[in-house]
Structure formats: structure tokens, C-alpha cells
Structure 1
Amino acid sequence: MATEDPGKIAAQLVELRVEHRDLDEAIARLAADRGADELTLKRLKKRKLRIKDMITALESRLIPDLDA
């Protein structure tokens, strides 16, 4: 596997973390609204979880492999 540019990965992490935070705020606003669309709320939560998984995967790519 080719060496990946840590700078690009870090930039992707910043973008994903911002989107994750924005989704968290949107979910909180929708959850507070009694008339909110449940399907939209579920989709936002699912998207937030996918982004969290993507963040975790990118973070693990930044950790160097150590031979045991």
C-alpha cells in the first residue's frame, strides 16, 4: 500500500468533524421540535454515525503500523 499524505488525511478529518458537529446541532434542534419529521431525524442520525465511522477509519490511518 502506498504511503498516504498525512496532510490530506488531516484535512479530511477537519471537514468530517465540522460536518459531524453541524449534524449534531441540527439533530438537537429537530429533536426539540415536537412536529419534526421522524424520518429526517433518523436519516440525520444515520449520516452522523457514518461520518463518525469515517473519522475513526481516517484516524487509524494516521497511526503508524508497528511490526510486532
Structure 2
Amino acid sequence: MHGSKEEPDLRQRLSELQREHRQLDARIAEMENAAAVNQIEITRMKKRKLWLKDEIARIEDQIFPDIIA
């Protein structure tokens, strides 16, 4: 663990993003199984989900940087 003052903030943000990502995943699955599928809304949510995944990876890289020995 790194003693950065910023790390608790990053961990909090990471947790929030991961929670939103899971919620979107569940909502997309619900919508895809619904009788009336709103493809535009599903596409928008999938784009948001991809953005969240990239943001999660970026924050994880800041918290847990690769150490090359």
C-alpha cells in the first residue's frame, strides 16, 4: 500500500464506479429480457459501462501500479 493522501479518495471513487458498473450490468440484462426492448437506451448504457470499466482500470493502476523488478 502506498501512503498517498489521495489513495483513500481513489479507493472511494473506485468503489463507486464498480457499484455503478454492476448496477448498469443488471439493468442492461433486465432491459434485454423485457418484452419491449429499447435498443437506443441499452446502447447508451453499454457505452457508459465501457467508460466505467476504463475508468476503473485507470484508478486501479493508480492505486496498484505495476512494479517492474
TM-score, structure 2 as length reference:
0.84
* Structure 2 unmatched runs, 5+: none
| Cα displacement (A) at 1:66 | 4.6
Aligned mates of 1:28, 1:47 — CA distance in 2: 14
Name segments (4+ residues, structure 1) moved above 6 Å: none
What is the match of residue 14 of structure 1?
15
Which range is displaced more, 7-16 or 26-35?
26-35
TM-score, structure 1 as length reference:
0.85
Q: Which amino acid aligns with 1:38?
A: Q
Aligned mates of 1:25, 1:56 — CA distance in 2: 20
Q: Relative contact order (C-alpha < 8 Å, sep 6+): which is higher?
A: 2
What is the match of residue 30 of structure 1?
31
Q: Quick one: percent identity of the two aligned structures?
A: 35
Q: Which amino acid aligns with 1:55?
A: I
| Cα displacement (A) at 1:34 | 3.4
Equivalent residue runs for 1:31-46 within 5 Å: 31-46=32-47
Report the number of matched residues: 66
| Cα displacement (A) at 1:54 | 0.2
Aligned mates of 1:5, 1:21 — CA distance in 2: 24
